[in-house]
Structure 1
Amino acid sequence: MAEVDNKVPAEVRTQFGKGFARRLRVAGQIPAVVYGHGAEVVHVAVPARQVTLLLRKKNAILDLQIDGKSTLALVKDVQKDPVRQIIEHIDLVVVTKGEKVVVNVPLHIVGTQQAGAVLELDAKAVPLLAEATHIPEFIEINIDGKAPGFKVTFADLDLPADATIDGESTRLVVHVHAASAKDSAESGEELAAELADEAAHAEHKAEIHAEQHEAEKAEALADAELSGAAAAAEAAE
C-alpha cells in the first residue's frame, strides 16, 4: 500500500456543537482542535478519509496546512463512536522537528515460543522519549523457539538510536514458562469468559445503536424546526 501523504489541509472553523459536528462528518470532514507551545487553541476541520488512513499508524504526525502555513501536530487523542467506530473528534498537539516527546509505542511479538511452553505478555506498549518526527511505529520482540525461562524487560528492547525508555527499565515485557494443569484450566475459563463478554457486548451495542438512532432523529427534528422558524422569520421581514 502506498504511503498516505501527511500534509493535511485544515480549515479553521468558528462554529461548534453536536449539530455542526454532525454536518461536518456528513460532508466528509472531522472536527479537531490544535493546541500546544503556548499558542492559542485553534479549532479546525480535516478531511476524514485521509486522516483516517493516517491514523492507522500509532502516534501519527500530521503536517497541517492552516491558512497557508505548515504546522506539525502529534495525534494526542481520538474520540470514536462506540458502535460505528466513526472518528468524531481529534486532539492534536503542536510539535517541532528535533523536539522530544513522550509516547506509548506498541510492542509487536514475532514468532512462536517452544512447543508446550506458555507465553505471558506483561506489557502491550513501551513509554518512550523520542524525537517527534522519528517516532517508531512499533517495537519488535522475537520469541521464536524461546524456551521456559526466557524473558524480556524494557531495558532489553531494541530501540531506535535517539529513543530512550521513559519509566522503569526493569519492568517485565514478556516471559516464557512451562505449561501446567492450572494454565489449561485458566485457558478454559478465559475462553468461556470471552464468549460471555462478546455476547454481552453485542447486546450492549444493539442497545446503544437504538438509543443513538432515537437521539439522531430528535436532533434532526430540532434542526428542521429551527430551520422552519428561521425561514418564517425571514418571510415575515
Structure 2
Amino acid sequence: MSNDTITLQAEARSQFGKGAARKIRRDHKIPAVMYGHGADPVHITLPGHDAMMALKNPNALLTIVLDGTEQMALAKDVQRDPIKPVIEHVDLVIVRKGEKVTVDVSVHLEGEAAPETVVTLDNSSLQVEAEATNIPESITVSVEGLTAGTQILAGAVELPAGATLVTDAEMLVVNVTQQISAEALEAELAEAEAEAGIEHEESDADVEAAEGEAAEGESAEGGAETSEDA
C-alpha cells in the first residue's frame, strides 16, 4: 500500500480537436480531461515525460496542480498510440481522501511449486475496493511447494489490509498441473494429428535413410546366399 501521490503540474487548455491535440503532443505534453464529484469537466494538458512515468502504475494516485489549486485524481482511461510509445489522451477522475474506489490490481506470484509441476496464472489481476489514498500496488500470491491439482480461487487470495474483493470469489487465479513429459506430449500430438487426418510427407532424408536400410538388408541376404553356395 502507498499513500504517496505523484504531483503533476497541469495547464488549462481551450483548444480542442485532433489538430490541437497533435500540437499539444508535439510540444511533449498530453491532453487530458479531469472530472468527478459533480464538477464540470476540466480540460488540461499534462507534462509528457512526467505523466508517462507516473502512469506506468495504472493506479497511481496523482496530485494535479492547476493554477495553484491541488486536486487528487486517478487515471480512469489512458489512450496510448498503438505503435509509438506515446500517450494520446488521459481521463482523470477526481477522488477525495478517505473515499473508496474500485480498481484492478495486478497479481504477482512468488515461490517455487513442487517439482515437475506447471503453474498457470489464469487471471493476472483482481478487482478490489480500497481507499483512494491506500490502493495496493500489487497482490502477492505464494505458490511455494504447491502440488499438482492445486487451484487458488480469488476468494482464497490474501488481500492487503484495507482492500476488499470485488471480483467473483469463485474465479480461478492460479492453477497447478502436472508437467507433461516430452514422450507423452509427442504421443498426444501424434494422436491429435491422427484424429485430424494429418499425414506427414516423408522428407528426402527419411527416404534416403529407408533406402539405405533396405540396401543394407539386401546386401546382407546376398552375402548369406553366397556363403551357403560356397
- Normalised by the length of structure 2, the TM-score is 0.74
What is the match of residue 194 of structure 1?
A: none
**Structure 1 residue identity aligned to 2:150:** F
**What letter is aligned with 1:51?**
A
> What does residue 76 of structure 1 align with?
76
Task: Say if 1:155 and 1:169, in contact at 8 Å, map to a contact too.
Answer: yes
Determine the C-alpha separation between the residues in 2 that align with 1:96 and 1:183.
59
Match of 2:25 in 1: 25
What is the alpha-carbon distance in structure 2 between the residues aligned to residue 183 and residue 133 of structure 1?
A: 53
Indicate if the aligned counterparts of 2:5 and 2:60 stay in contact, CA closer than 8 A.
Answer: no
Q: How many angstroms apart in 1 are the aligned matches of 2:152 and 2:54?
A: 31
> 2 CA distance for matches of 1:183 and 1:97?
59
Alignment coverage as a number of residue pairs: 185
Return the alpha-carbon distance in structure 2 between the equivalents of residues 115 and 167 of structure 1: 31
For 2:102, give the aligned amino acid. Answer: V
Give 1:35-184 correspondences, 5 Å limit: 35-180=35-180
The one-character-per-residue Cα deviations of 1:173-198 (angstroms, maximum 9, x if unpaired) are: 10212123699759x99xxxxxxxxx
SS of 1:25's equivalent in the other structure is helix
CA displacement, residues 44-65 of structure 1 (integer Å, 9 cap, x when unaligned):
0010111111111121111001
Q: Structure 1 residue 112: deviation in Å?
A: 3.0
Q: Which residue of 1 aligns with 2:208?
A: none
Deviations 1:70-126 (A, max 9, x none): 111111111111111311100100100100011110101123322211112221100
Unpaired runs of at least 5, structure 2 = 190-230
Q: Report the AA paired with residue 70 of structure 1.
A: E
Alpha carbons 1:11, 1:46 under 8 Å: kept: yes
Instruction: From the two aligned structures, give the one with the greater helix fraction.
Output: 1
- Tell me the secondary structure at the aligned position of residue 133 of structure 1: coil
Structure-2 separation of matches of 1:97 and 1:51: 22
**Partners of 1:15 and 1:111 in 2: CA distance:** 52
Aligned twin of 1:15: 15
Q: Given that residues 58 and 137 in structure 1 are in contact (C-alpha distance below 8 angstroms), is that contact kept between their aligned partners in structure 2?
A: no
Larger Rg: 2
Which SS does the other structure have where 1:176 is aligned? strand
CA distance in structure 2 between the partners assigned to 1:138 and 1:5 by the alignment: 16
The offset of 1:19, in angstroms, is 1.6
Alignment of 1:225-236 (within 5 A): none
Please give the root-mean-square deviation of Cα atoms over the aligned residues, in Å: 2.3
The aligned amino acid for 2:58 is K
Question: Is contact 2:139–2:160 with CA below 8 Å preserved after alignment?
Answer: no
Letter in 2 for 1:11: E
Distance in 2 (CA, whole Å) between partners of 1:59 and 1:182 is 42
Runs of 4+ in 1 over 4 A off after TM superposition: 181-186
Distance in 1 (CA, whole Å) between partners of 2:94 and 2:182 is: 49
Shift of 1:5: 6.6
CA contact (8 A) 1:109 1:140 kept: yes
Aligned position for 1:232: none
Unaligned runs of 5+ in 1: 190-237
Where does 1:205-224 land on structure 2 (aligned, <5 Å)?
A: none
CA distance, structure 2, for counterparts of residue 5 and residue 36 of structure 1: 18
Instruction: Give the share of equivalent positions with the same residue, in percent.
Output: 41
